[in-house]
Amino acid sequence: MKELNLPAAVHNITQVTQFVNEELKRLRCPDKARRQIDIAIDELFGNIARYAYNPEVGNATVSIEVHDDPLSVEITFTDNGKAYDPLAKADPDVSLSAEEREIGGLGIYMVKKSMDSVIYEYRDGKNILKIRKHM
């Protein structure tokens, strides 16, 4: 497992993406899966940066672990910010137009649809969100 600890700030999304992409490149991750993971990183780390410690800035840890059978990567986002389960909110009704839909939730919905699993837990004062993508 590889791990990166850094301030949960929007400008660090690029650093998190590069960190994960180094491992994905080593695994010869297909481009489509890499793009889906990049979008998930943008959404998930961005949410931590914007909301977990607001208005302060705290740290977040991003780890990546490779699993076999099937070959997959698991990326874990951990922060000590406010407890928040992004999976608890109902999925947006994507059959409605953007004007008719409630604001929020579309990014998490996209992550849930593009990853093979998304799991959240709050444990020991930490938000822990894990995403897994099969190669």
DSSP state letters, 5-34: EEE--GGGHHHHHHHHHHHHHHTT--HHHH
In whole angstroms, what is the distance from residue 42 CA to residue 64 CA? Answer: 15
Residue 91: the pLDDT is 63
Residue 76: the pLDDT is 98
- pLDDT of residue 108 exceeding 70: yes
Domain 2-134 sits in CATH 3.40.50.2000 = no
Residue located via tokens 């400008």: 11
Lookup: tokens for 62: 């991003």
- pLDDT of residue 89 exceeding 90: no
pTM for the full predicted model: 0.92
Helix 31-47 and helix 106-114, axial crossing angle in degrees, nearest 10: 140
Residue 107: the pLDDT is 82
Query: What ranges make up the beta strands (E) of the chain?
Result: 2-7, 59-67, 72-79, 117-123, 126-134
- pLDDT of residue 12 exceeding 90: yes
- pLDDT of residue 133 exceeding 70: yes
Q: Where are the domains of the chain?
A: 2-134
If one compares 110 and 93, the residue with the highest pLDDT of the two is 110
Q: pLDDT by residue (tens digit) across 30-64? A: 999 999 999 999 999 999 999 999 889 999 999 99
Residue 121: the pLDDT is 97
